[in-house]
Amino acid sequence: AIFQHNQLPPSPIAIPVIGHFHLLGPLIHHSLYKLSLRYGPLFSFRLGSVPCVVASTPELAREFLKTNELCFISHASSTAISRLTYGSSLAFSPYGAYWRFVKKLTMNELLGGRPINNFLQLRAQEYGRLLRFLAKKSELGEAVNLTHELPKLSNNVIALMIMGTRGSTMDGRMEETRTVIREVTEIFGELNMSDFIWFCKKLDLQGFGKRIENIYERFDTLLEKIIAEREELRKNMRKKGGDGRDDEVKDFLDILLDISEDENAEMKVTRIHIKALVMDLFTAGTDTTAISTEWALAEMINHPEVLGKAREEIDRVVGKNRLAGESDGPDLPYMQAIVKETLRLHPPVPLVTRRCVKACQIGKYRIPESTMLFINAWAIARDPNNWANPLEFRPERFIEANTDVRGQHFQVLPFGSGRRICPGMNLAMQMLPGLLAGLIQCFDWKVVGPLGEKMDAGDSVLSMDERPGMTAPRAHDLVCVPVARFTPLTNILDV
Ligand code: HEM
């Protein structure tokens, strides 16, 4: 290509060798936002020797993710990512035959419309389980740490969707799985100097190498156990004369193992691939969904008028005699708007991060191959140029303007956009309204303060601080006493 200009976008002054590491705080999207105020909506910086560009407007997001999609079609990887995803995951594979194969398989068998509906009942059971647990707590007047309970739910849902009810052999391991998953998403979001600066490669100044190996060891052990158990089960079934499964529907893990055993499969799938994919789906799907649920609940607790309106809608549409669930989602437009407004203000993945795979001209700048691209989705979604009173939590804005969050409107991109858009989007957008509807239909929420004191929703404003990592969870645990709205609550929970 012939480039009119051979230069990167404006940049702060770099320190020799390290580049701009010193400008980035732990919440990288905040640091990049502050830098954008100074250096403009498209600026560049360097991590060691790696050039990076940051886009902070909807127009630029479109330019990178749509107009020049194929130049930025891969996700940016790191030492931590390639080790922990076995160098073979869906999210971090280069855009090519393997990615296409796994993406199609995942949509057909796990995350597309048909499988999502097939698993509807299974998810409803998990919501029911959480709500019954909350009902018990409510009877006892005890507080619940939702920051712990919500990832249990989303992790169970994903584990069950991947491994079916036979995932129950996981029961004793779910806690460890969730702990490792959180550590994985944290380390994926951190910047490891050794990835960028040649003389740090061997030094491991921040202790990343040790952390990575520790996480790898624990997760790999878990995955090996899960797969070995399933293989054993399949072998026993075959001995009995079956074809390797019982009369249940095939789950995703069975499908993957079938392909790995099939000599004529379109693509050779190995055990490494299977582990990589399970790792991918667990880490991409557990925290993101839980975090959004928690943010939405926290915002409703802070905005009693929003909560009131959402409840009115539920009471009108669903009534008081049955539990609200996913199938009510389409009839709850205000609840849908709450979910969108939550994803706008609190995108669980604040930076859509890609790698330039082919040098490219953006406006008057030249972006060289291997540049890291950060679309600051978090900053774009709270920019007053794109949104009126952007810091206000006001779901009505999504009803007044027909904006959606599915990658078509570049002022709000919680799931990214284009071919690398989040494949779990439809699942998340179906789960969130149904689950939240159940949570507020059944309970009032009394926030428990830092010292265990009860506070009235309304006069307590929950802190909206964030914790660092690839995902942006709330910094403080959400601890509440659920207060049942109906007595006995079991009436609607048992149906
Ligand atoms: C509220 C929930 C979620 C949010 C906000 C979210 C957000 C994102 C974002 C921003 C990306 C990058 C998109 C891009 O580069 O354009 C992504 C990718 C991905 N997400 Fe999600 N996600 C969520 C839930 C899920 C779930 C439930 C799953 C699976 C069970 C999932 C699996 C993935 C995978 C596999 C990728 C990589 C796709 C690829 O590289 O082709 N996500 N997600």
Nearest to 16 by CA among 44, 45, 48: 48
Where b means 16+ CB within 10 Å and e means fewer, 468-488 reads: bbbbbbbeeebbbbbebbeee
Q: Is 350 near ligand 1, meaning CB less than 6 Å away?
A: no
ipTM for the whole predicted complex goes beyond 0.90? yes
> How distant, in Å, are the alpha carbons of 182, 256, 396, 484 from that of 393?
27, 42, 9, 26
pLDDT at 390: 97
Residue nearest to atom 40 of ligand 1 (CA): 91
Residue nearest to atom 38 of ligand 1 (CA): 91
DSSP 355-400: E-SS-EEETTEEE-TT-EEEEEHHHHTT-TTTSSSTTS--THHHHH
What percent of the chain has a predicted confidence (pLDDT) above 70?
A: 91
Those residues whose C-beta lies under 8 Å from the C-beta of residue 454, and which sit 6 or more positions away, are 446, 447, 448, 481
pLDDT at 392: 97
Report the separation in Å between the CA atom of 370 and the middle of ligand 1, taken as the mean of its atom positions: 22
Give the residues of the chain that fall short of pLDDT 70.
Answer: 1-6, 165-172, 201-202, 241-249, 450-461, 469, 488, 495
pLDDT at 217: 94
Where b means 16+ CB within 10 Å and e means fewer, 18-46 reads: bbbbeeeeebbbbbbbebbeebebbbbbb
Report the separation in Å between the CA atom of 379 and the middle of ligand 1, taken as the mean of its atom positions: 19
pLDDT at 233: 87
Q: Is 20 near ligand 1, meaning CB less than 6 Å away?
A: no
Q: Is 416 near ligand 1, meaning CB less than 6 Å away?
A: yes
Q: Is 85 near ligand 1, meaning CB less than 6 Å away?
A: no
Whole-model pTM? Answer: 0.93
